[in-house]
Each structure stands twice: as structure tokens, then as C-alpha cells.
Structure 1
Amino acid sequence: MSAAELQSWQDRLASYLAAEKRILDSQEYQIGQGSTARRNRRAELEQVQNGIRECQQKIAVLQAGQNPRARRVIRLRPY
């Protein structure tokens, strides 16, 4: 697991957090009025929050793998 992979997950998390903020600010908005109005509905908040949790979990796993002081269990068997 490389630093590039960790950075990729951190970038993805930042995107999800930005999307969550936009959703919380306004789930749906309209541009224009009357018959020429265009509506935009953002992604579902639950899906974005699931993506945030997934990214946070993956980042934690990757960071634990990079930590040289991370706990490891080694089993020794005498001959």
C-alpha cells in the first residue's frame, strides 16, 4: 500500500466531504423562472455519507499499515 494510494483515498474523501456540504446547503435548486427554468437535484445524502465512511475506514487501514509502531502479532513455535 503506497503513499499514492493513501493520497488517492484522501482526495476522494475531500470530494465526498465537499459534496456533503453542498447537499446540506441545498439538496435541490432552480435556475431561471417559468418554462425555461432548470432544476438540479444533488445526490442522496445517505449515499455520500456511506462514501465518507468507506473512505475514512480505508484511510485508517492504510495509515495503520504505514505506522512502524502498529501492533503486530507474531506466533513463534519452537522446533
Structure 2
Amino acid sequence: MPHIRTLGADEATGLLAREYEKAIRRAGRVFNVIGIQGLNPPVLSASVRLYETLMLAPGPLGRDLREMLATVTSRELDCFY
């Protein structure tokens, strides 16, 4: 697996610090899928907005089913994150 440089929450400033703080409030920590985007905070911010839109938008599937589908898809594709 390739090594991807990341910044810890203690190193984050500006937009990245705000995104990390939101991640900690949401999940209790900064998960790797968030941390690997930390070198480009605007991309991280857009990625989080996309994720929230997909998971929280009204529709026939509840969030629990959407999360399960994402988890199963990641597992089937051997996605570490």
C-alpha cells in the first residue's frame, strides 16, 4: 500500500482545522478517508459536502441503507478506507 502523507488535527490550520473539527464532532475522530484529503482542504470540503448530500438527501433509501451499500461496495472492491 502506498504511503500518503497526512496532517494530524494538531497540525491543521484554517479550512483544514475547521474540517477536522467538524469530522471530530461528527464521528469522534478524523477517519483516514478524511485525513488523506487534508493536503487539499478545498477538495476535502467539497468531498464532505458531496458525501453529506448523498447520504442525507431525501429519497426512497434511508441513510442506514445508503451507508450499508457504501460499506458493502467498499468491501467488495477491497477498498481499505
Question: Greater share of strand residues, 1 or 2?
Answer: 1
Fold shared, TM-score > 0.5 on shorter chain: no
Task: Give the TM-score band, short-chain normalised.
Answer: under 0.3
